[in-house]
Amino acid sequence: MSIFTPTNQIRLTNVAVVRMKKGGKRFEIACYKNKVMSWRSGAEKDLDEVLQTSSVFNNVSKGQVAKKDDLSKAFGTDDLTEICKEILAKGELQVSDKERQSQLETSFRDIATIVAEKCVNLETKRPYTVNLIERAMKDIHYSVEANKSTKQQALEVIRQLKDSIEIQRAHMRLRLVLPAKEGRRLKEKLKPLLKVVESEDFDDQLEMVCLVDPGCFREIDELIRCETKGKGSLEVLSLKDVEEGDERLE
């Protein structure tokens, strides 16, 4: 005996649902977990990597697919790709309270990490720790916005923190002095951590002046101390302000 399954029903598992109400009706799409925020932040460009199916539902959990007429009336089109994109952009991601709290805590930490990597203490000219930035964010009662990327929110946090702590977006200008023997090898290891090499002089030792993100300072310092066994040196020369008009965080 065969079991009859209605043709307008699709069963899905391990799904993240995005819901939107329009034209008096409820519409839902079935997405892969963790991909919705990647799409909204611009990190994920491939819609097929976000959607479990291109179908639009009235109720994902019951497998009830929305009628074509209802979609056309509500969205002015029956193009499922365009409808899915609109629901992804404007709909509400359905998650349990536990999942939502976990996501918010992760995003909060991610935002603090970005701020710590890009900023310095104006008085000491040194980077802040992530824990200190987290405490400062809690002091100003910063609330994570689920629909904004962590990079966008990090910029907003920096602006808000300027009223409560000595903080500034800047690159650190460093002078690195490395023994000739380790110079070339160590330079290759340091390359990924350097934003700009402003000058380089190789005589009896390698001397470089470069710009780095504050978050890389400790790693560079540790690398030089360990690799040169204390013979190399690292000096902070100055800070180079990141222009306020530069709204991107690379």
- In this predicted model, what pLDDT tens digit does every residue of 200-233 receive, in sequence order? 888 888 888 999 888 888 889 988 888 888 888 8
pTM above 0.75, yes or no: no
The pLDDT score that the predictor gives to residue 242 is 65
Q: In this structure, which CATH number among 1.10.10.900, 3.40.50.620, 1.20.140.10, 1.10.150.130 belongs to the domain 97-169?
A: 1.10.10.900
Q: What's the confidence (pLDDT) of residue 49? A: 93
On average, the pLDDT of the chain sits at 85
Please list the residue range(s) of the chain that carry CATH number 1.10.10.900: 97-169
Within the chain, all domains assigned CATH 3.30.1250.10 are found at: 15-94
Mean of pLDDT values over 164-193: 87
Q: What is the pLDDT of residues 50-63, one digit of tens each?
A: 999 999 999 998 88
What value, to the nearest 5°, has the Cα angle with vertex 181 and ends 179 and 182? Answer: 75
Residue ranges of the chain that CATH labels 3.30.70.240? 172-238
pLDDT tens digits for 80-98? 999 999 999 999 888 777 8
Supply the CATH classification number for the domain 15-94: 3.30.1250.10
Confidence of residue 41 (pLDDT cuts 50, 70, 90): confident
CATH 1.10.3470.10 for the 172-238 domain, yes or no: no
- Quote the pLDDT of residue 47: 92
Mode of pairing for the β-strands spanning 167-179 and 119-121: antiparallel
Are 158 and 170 spatial neighbours (Cβ–Cβ below 8 Å)? no
Q: What pLDDT does residue 122 have?
A: 82
For residue 25, what are the β-bridge partners? 22
The pLDDT of residue 6: 47
